[in-house]
Amino acid sequence: MTPDKKVKILATLGPAVDGIDDIRELVEAGVNIFRLNFSHGDHADHAKRYQWIREVERQLNYPLGILMDLQGPKLRVGKFADGKVQLHRGQALRLDLDTTPGDERRVNLPHPEIIAALEAGMDLLLDDGKLRLRVVTKYGDAIDTTVLNGGELSDRKGVNVPQAVLDLSPLTAKDRRDLSFGLELGVDWVALSFVQRPQDIVEARALIGDKAFLMAKIEKPSAVEQLREIAELSDAIMVA
């Protein structure tokens, strides 16, 4: 516990931390800020951890920060008839708005905003980047792609579109409920996921006001391209 250290330590609380004693040990080991990951757990779980942290703060008379990390939009493919497929380099795969279970030739992409933003030559990353597709042709309700990096693709795996700015707010309905709950609890920081442009920070700031500091998570190339403007509107940056 060295309050004058120049680099602070932020620790994410997961299921292995199960009580005030665990929190105290982490603080004594050097933790300054605790992250509550709202992609997991329910409000009761987060409230319980919040109270543990504040109790340790009182016991030790040592200031601790609490950061709530909002989930942000989760973009995923649909389901497959057999639960998964094996994709091979060079093969064609269509992604469309049809909710019929997919196969090796096509799969549902239940996000029209992705299809609208894509152009021929752009890439899609699936399953945390394990698979890469390149757009060949775009239609109103579908895109045809070629597999660049193949592998197994199963139900509801994530989709990332690094080269396009999507017409999506960084705040889903779930995020707005979580944000209201976290601010009522009294969190010190809010980390905003899926930041694409400065307007995303403005939108979040309007809801947060002066109740907490705002940390922009930089995980999209478009955010890097507008980093100065985003930084000027934020209280801190997280390289996510």
Residue written as token pair 């920070």:
201
Q: Quickly tell me which residue has 């504040």 as its tokens.
A: 54
Q: Which CATH architecture has domain 10-73+168-239?
A: Alpha-Beta Barrel (3.20)
Q: What homologous superfamily is domain 84-160 in, according to CATH?
A: PK beta-barrel domain-like (2.40.33.10)
**pTM of the shown model:** 0.91
CA separation for the pair 75, 9 (Å, rounded)? 30
Residue 171 φ/ψ region, left for φ over 0, alpha for ψ in the -120 to 50 degree band, beta for the rest: beta
Query: Is residue 1 very low, low, confident or very high in pLDDT (cuts 50, 70, 90)?
Result: low
For 36-95, write each residue's pLDDT tens digit: 999 999 999 999 999 999 999 999 999 999 999 999 999 999 999 999 999 999 999 999
When pLDDT is averaged across residues 125-149 and rounded to a whole number, the result is 97
Pick from 5, 1, 58: which is nearest to 25 by CA? 1
CB atoms within 10 A of CB 238: 19
Percent over 90 (pLDDT), the chain: 97
Q: Are 232 and 209 in contact (CB under 8 A)?
A: no
Instruction: Give the DSSP per-residue string, 8-19.
Output: --EEE--TT--S
| CA dihedral sign of residues 108, 161, 122, 141 | positive
pLDDT digits (tens, 9 = 90+) for 93-126: 999 999 999 999 999 999 999 999 999 999 999 9
| Residues counted in the chain | 240
Nearest to 162 by CA among 134, 140, 142, 141: 134
**For 132-148, what is the mean pLDDT?**
98
Domain boundaries, the chain: 10-73+168-239, 84-160
In this prediction, residue 35 carries a pLDDT of 98
Segment 171-225, tens digit of pLDDT = 999 999 999 999 999 999 999 999 999 999 999 999 999 999 999 999 999 999 9
Confidence of residue 4 (pLDDT cuts 50, 70, 90): confident
